[in-house]
Structures are given as structure tokens and as C-alpha cells.
Structure 1
Amino acid sequence: MYKAMLVDDEYMILEGLKQIIPWNELGFEVVKTAKRGQEALDYLKENDIDLLITDVTMPKMTGIELVREIRKFKPDLSIIILSGYQEFSYVKQGLELGVKGYLVKPVNKDELEQKVIQIRDDLIQDARMGTQKELYYDTMVQRWLNDELNEDEFLNFIKELKIHLNPSYSVIIVNQANNPVDLSEYVKSQQQPFMVQTENLSTYQTVIIYQGMRNELNLFVKGIEEELRGQTFKIILGESVTEWENVYESFEKSKKLLLFQEFYGDKEASQMVVSLTDTEEEVEKLHFLSFNKALMIGDMATIKDELHGIYQQMAEFRYTPENVRHVTFLLFTDIYRQFPSLDKEIYDDTLKKIHHSSSMKELKQWLDQILDSIYDNPAVSKRYSDLVKSAIHIISTDYQKDLSLKSVAEVLHINPVYLGQLFKKETERSFSQFLNQTRIKKGQYLLLNSSKPINEVGYDIGYNNPTYFFKMFRKLNGLTPKEFREKYLQNYQSFEE
């Protein structure tokens, strides 16, 4: 039932408006009547309605003045204005203020009913459109977080939202256990446009893609803590990244930190904020994303340089033992995701070592040993199911073709949704991510072991668009194809040799 409000300084007219049409049958309830514009304005500042019908000529505050004030805080409210006579200036002002109708007193029953029906139908249509927009918005943000948007889709999404991007992004995960607080109003008040919320039996989760520098982010998170005062919650801050294409990495880091907390976090803590970097200097120097890209590049010296650099920076910034453990866990999970030769036993052993470690040096040496073991035995895949191995084999042999999850599922005679879910669970990458990484690894090999022009390399590995090949190569490696070839042509220690 929609809510209507009637405003007129004459009591008999108010009563007549309440009785002249069957409001309930038309889908409305008259929830308030007011005899003065100020009375109506005070009510509207505290309450929501869907339709306002107001007289024009009232003492102290006219109907036009009332509408003008209402538009300052309820720009979309449906309004009908009434007048004792036809006056063009009232009609003109009403149109300028976006009113839905102008009726002359005495009000004609059929005209009023027709206008109310029209407004009801508009409200129903707006609600449907709003639901569709919300679904579209949630879907697009989820796809962005999961690295499923191409550039055109992303730019169209931003254009439709009519927002300006700030080239610094950090993913925040907020988990609430019970009696959850809706953070949407707070997030909107801070001019942060990207947020999705999900709920299951035990957890209410809010994921925010924060735009802004790290010091601003810290203040934003303090605001969340205030909103959740007295609640049970965990707040996890992911890595800050400067390009929209890498937001998924910040999301992955946030999820991994949350997982680590579930393993070894303080079970008694009812309120927890986990952040690895607090200042812009730390964000700039302690760059986890560079390590991830080094793993994709695949050169042992580059990987170890990045690894040792991160530990050196943690020592410089005097990281607490707990934060060193957090960082080590994230570095290990990046290694584990990239190299399937590592099995569940290594994963469990590493978790134990991280939890019981006594020094930063010990943790760094352990990761060095893991990297050396991969270098000595790179090709053995120990943890994928036969179905996922089969899908990977198709990707490895047919990467030059126009492959899709659906086409591979058809070859394997399996439901594509099931295959996609299983593939993501076991490899920690979507099918398209894995396909792109496979193609780019093949491209690396051609860049270093042939004299083919860069555009031709792109065509040979399945990219018909040279620009897309260039962008994907740079996204995954942090280098352009030309920079990669120049840097590693003479000195490349591959894990795959």
C-alpha cells in the first residue's frame, strides 16, 4: 500500500479529498493530513510518503513554496497541486518543480482518480526498474570483484552510475555475526559508490570497494567501527591498488586474510580490524601485487627479489609478529595458487609454521625453500581432480582457439555451471582467468624464444586484438610485452624448464 498526504488550509476540503475517491482500492492509504505548509514540511522531514496533494493558496507558506522546500530533500516525490482557479503562473511553476498534476477546485472526482491511478502505475514501474537496477548494480560489482568484467563493460557501468573514479582502490570486507547493521547509508554518506551485501545462516557480509588514499581509508573504517559499536564483527582491509583491473587482487587478499583469521584468529575477540598497511609510504613500498606479478613472470631471481624486498620493508616498518604472519600467509597463498605442484600437505605444514614461527627470518627462509622445491620439480600437479585436469589439458593444447567454459564443458560432457564452480574452487581462478594466464605464459615463451613481432605473438596465442593482448600482458605481468622481452631475453630462470 502506498502512502498519501493531503495538505489544505480548509478542513472541509481535506475531509472531501479523503472521501471523494476509494483510496484503498487504488492502492493508497492517506496517512497524514495537514492544514499548514510548515506542518506538512515538518512531517515529511521525519516520514516517507509516496504522494503529496497540496493546495496552492495557503497562509504563511504557499503550496508552491512548500513544493520548493520539499524538492531540496525529496526530489522524486510525486506531487499534485490544487488551486481554486486556473492560473498559468501556478501551472508553470509546478511544471518547473516537477509536479505530476495540476487540478482546479472543486476537484473533479474522475480527474483526481485518473491522476492517482497514473501515479500508482508510475510508482509500480519505478519499483520494478529500481529492482532491475539494483540487480544489475550488484551483479556488476560482484563481477568486478571476481575479475569478470572487460574494459568496455566496466566503462559503461561507470558511465551509467555517473561517477568519477579515484585511482586508488582498497577492498574492505565487513563480517557481522548476528543482529547485523545495514551499512549502506553510512557508505553512501561517505560518497563511496561500490558496495554489495550478502547474508547466509551465520554471517552478514558487506564488501566495499573503497576509493581514496590510505589515510582516508583508515578514517572511513573508524566510521564503520562507530556504526557497529556494540556488535560482533571483523573488518578486513585488502591491498590498495591503483588500477581498476587489479581490484580483484585486493579482494582475494581480503578473503585470504579472513580465512587466516578463521584458522588462527583470536576466537574470543568480538571486534577485530585487520589491516596490513596504514600509511601511503607502506602502500607504496610494501607492494604485494608486485610479488603476484613476479610469480606470473616466472623468473626465479625476480620472484626472490620481490619476496626479500617485502620482508626487508616489513623490518623497516617494524611490523608486529602478527602482521608478519598475515603477510607471510598472503605471500604463500599467492605461491600456492600459482603452482599446483604444491599439495595440501605443504599447505597445512605452512599454516602450522606461520602460526608457530619465532622470527621473520624463519618465515622468509621457509618460503625460499618452497620456491626452491618448485624450481626443482615444477610439473607435478598433485591437487586437481581428474575433471579439472582434463579441462586444463584442453586449455593447454587448444589455447589458440576461441575457447569458452561452455565449449570445454561440451567436450567433457559436463554441465558448464558445475565445471565452472569446480574449476574455480580447485584452481582459485575462474576459467577465463586461467585461460588468459595460460595464453600469456605461452606468449612469454615466444617473446624469449623467437624473433616474432609482438603483434604476431599475440595472434599466435589466441588474441586477435593486439590492444587486448597488450593490456592483458601488462595486467598479469606488470610489464608490456616489449619491456618483458628486453628485460628477460638474456637472463630468464624459468620454473618450467
Structure 2
Amino acid sequence: MKILIVDDDVIIRKGLSEGIDWPQHGFELVGAAGDGEEALELMKLQTPDIVISDIRMPFMDGLELAERMNEMYPWVKLILLTGYQEYEYAKRAIEMRASEYLIKPIHNMALLQKVIELGAQIEQERTYTRQVQEGMPLLRQRFLQKLVTAAPGPNFHSEIKFLGLPLDKTVFHVMVIKIDGLTSPELLKRYSEKEIIKYCVHNIARELLGELGLTFDCEDDEIAAIVTGDNDPKRLFENAYVFAEELLVQIKRYVKTTVTIGMGGAYEGHEKLPKSYQEARSSLAYRHYAGTSQIITVHDTGLFADMNELQLAGLKKELYAKVKLGLSEDSLGVLSQLERKLFEAQLEWSQVHLLAVEIAVVVFQGMQEWDEEGESHKDFYTVCKELQELETVSDIFRYLRSFIEAITRDAMKVRDSQTKGIVLKAMEYIDQHFSNENLYLQEVAGAVHVNPTYLSIIFKRERDINFSDYLLEVRMKKAIQLIRKGELKSYEVAQQVGYPNPQYFSVVFKKYTGYSPTEYRNAAARKDA
């Protein structure tokens, strides 16, 4: 971590530079300047992490330096040195920019302690920034999926700015691109995995769309595209259609397969995105009648977002998620909604039976997530045969309700057992790898083969402690053992428990135990004597 010292007094400047052994404490002194102007010139050559500056200097004082740093280097921490008579002056500087201030005369140890604290703060900020950057693709994906299925929240503009999404226009249109024959043997033989095919289609769509909008994953074999603009909705829809036509050609030429594109309407205001998305999905559903490898618009089909089939599809997807998690009451609640929708739609009897079979398929798919042997309950063909023998809608849903109650009850038993096993494996992994400074939730989740968010939730539920707190506890307990032995120096202990920065380790250790490593070592020695 880099330090820059600024003071017009040569003696003080030299004392601060040479009076503290900066390298011993993990810091690099990159320069010493006589005023703010010289400091800014040095910062151009090698940007420091922390600047220690006097507040009263000729040419450019500490207050003006704080203003300039705020404009040019807002991430650099600033410590101001001031006299008692300059308190109000220093207060203004702190309100404007400075991280800390110290009153002269300054003791080197007090200054060093303040620098160490700021260093630890910088490390924490960098860790947070890195974690946010690593998770940004997932955050964008989840935000966009939510954006096209529900009305955006009041923080829409600040959220898209944070995520770096080009959605600050006034007119929006959504289309859904479905890859035809994604699981066909011929296509898989050429690309080996369907994810590679989807990746190719996604790249072509993103490049063709350019600055007109963005693309993101929705279903397994589908990609959504949001087209944006500041012109009128009719013109935007025409531009989107041109993009869709070119996409059909390019996919066929380069990927050697076809796609079918469903297009919703174009509307003013981002709050209409869910409407356009639902219309696009409705249009895409019409491919069973219109055929594949073409563009189908909501105007072509006459379908709208409140189409019964679309609502049923969403409920079936929700039912799958609830069964998969073994949530009995929630699953039955979704089933009741499906039953009401079916009565409202007044479908033909053959369609009712077809829907019942589709619901059975959804339930069995959810079962497969935890019932790997598939022997806990009736097999799929038996269920379908028994459903076909029923003669009323009420009988069909009564049968499905009983079936779901039985399987979700077993699912919870299996999931509870699996959860405990996953958490134990995660704890074992932490106990074996806590010395790794880059040990994060994502790595542990990958080691036990689960989603990081899911691991965080079940870890808290099973152990009544957050993942990060548990990792800290393991490291601190090991550090205490090593310090009590008295065989290693503090920085060696820090390295062995996953802290390459001994200053940051000291801060964390003191926060956990109430003592610095040295204080704890001395206290333990007196107790053992």
C-alpha cells in the first residue's frame, strides 16, 4: 500500500518519511512533497493509497489539495495534520474531503496507527469492490429477468446506472429468441453441448444489436432482447424487426441452425417492459401453429399478454420450483390457482387431460431433484393412466393434490438430510482451507457443488451463524492457538490464517478478542508463568 507525505517544513517532512519504518508495516513511501502542487504532480506518476498532508502550506494548502483530490482521485484517503488554532479550518477540510485529521505535534505511533486503520479500511473496500465486480454478470441477469416480469421499482434509474445497463431511453420493445432443435442429435454432434450453441446465438444477437439495446438469458433454449430508443414506438418496432430479420439470416449462416423470434409491442416507458415481454412470449407460443424459423409478432397472432396459456405456463413453472424445494403448502396453493384458471378458461375435455399430464410432468421433474432413484412413489406412466380414468376437473385436481402432498412431505425429509450434509462438507472445507486468503463463499459453494446463495441460506439456518462469521471464527481460533504457543511472529500467524496483510490481521484480531496479537501473547505468557 502506497503512502505520500506533503508538508512544507523540511524537518517535519523528513521526520515523517524516515521516523517511521513504513516497509516494516506493509507500506511503501512513494514520495514527499513540499506543497499541494508538487503533491499532485507526484500523484500523476504514482498514485498513492493514502496521503498525509499538512493543512497550512504555501502555493497550494491542504484545503485546496483536498478539493483537487476529490475531483481527480476520490478513492485516495487523506489524513490532514493541523494545529489547535486551525481547528475550524481543519473541520471544513474534513467535511469536504479528508478521511482523518491529527493535531500537531504528532507522535509517529499515533500517525502509524491511523494509517494502519485506513489501510485496513482500504482492503475491505477493495474486497467489496472485487466481490461486486465478480458478481456483476449475475446481478445484471437477475435484474433483467425481474424487470421483464414485474413492474420496476422506484430505484430503477439508480439501479441501471449501478449495473451499467443502457436502459436510459424512453421507448422499449422486447423480443424472445428461441433456438429451434437445440437438443437435436445433429446439432449436438456439431457443438457437443447446447450451452455452446446458445453462447454462439447470444454473441451474434449481442453484436448485431450493438448500442440499440441488450440481450440476456431467459429460458433454457431462449434469449430475450430489449431494444431501446428515443424515437416513437412505431419507428422502434420497425428497427427491431429489421434486427430480427438479420438475426435469422446470420444464425442460419454461422451457427447452421434456425431460431424463431416472438416480438411484443413497442411502448413508451420502462414500466411497459413486462407487457412487451409477455406479448413476445405469447407470440412465440404460436409457433406450434405457424411453424419455426420465422418472426412472429403480437400483431400477427392477435395474442395478448393476458392470454390464459401464458398465465398457465407461468404457474407451471412456479409449481416446479415449489415441488423441487419440497414446499407442500406453496405447491398446493399454485395447484389451486391452476384449477381456477382452468375453470375460467373452459377448455375442451381433451385439453383438460393434456394439462393434467403436463402438471404431472412438472411434478415429476421437481421430484427428480431429490428422488434420484424414482422409486419413492408411483411412476409417471401409472399416474398418467389414473388421471386419464378420472371424469371431472375436481377429481383430477383432488388426485393431484393428494399426490403432491405425499411427495413434498418426503422431499422435505430428503432435503433436510441433504442440507445438513452440505453444511458439514462446507465446514470441513473451511477447516482445511482457511489459510487461503482468497477463500470466499463462491469457492466453498463450488467445492460442495451448490449455488453460493443457497449455501449462505442453509449455512445460517443450520449453524445459526453467517458464513463469513464462521470463517472469521475458525481463523481467529487458530490464530489464538498459534499465538499462545509463542513460536511464530505475528505476521507469520497472520499468513497461516489467511491474512497476508499483518496490519489488517491485527485490526481484525483486536476486534475479535479485544487485544492486539502482542497484547494477547503477553497476557497468555503471564497466565502460563
TM-score bracket relative to the smaller structure: 0.3 to 0.5
Structure index of larger Rg: 2
Q: TM-score, normalised by structure 2?
A: 0.39
Greater helix share, 1 or 2? 2
Q: TM-score, normalised by structure 1?
A: 0.41
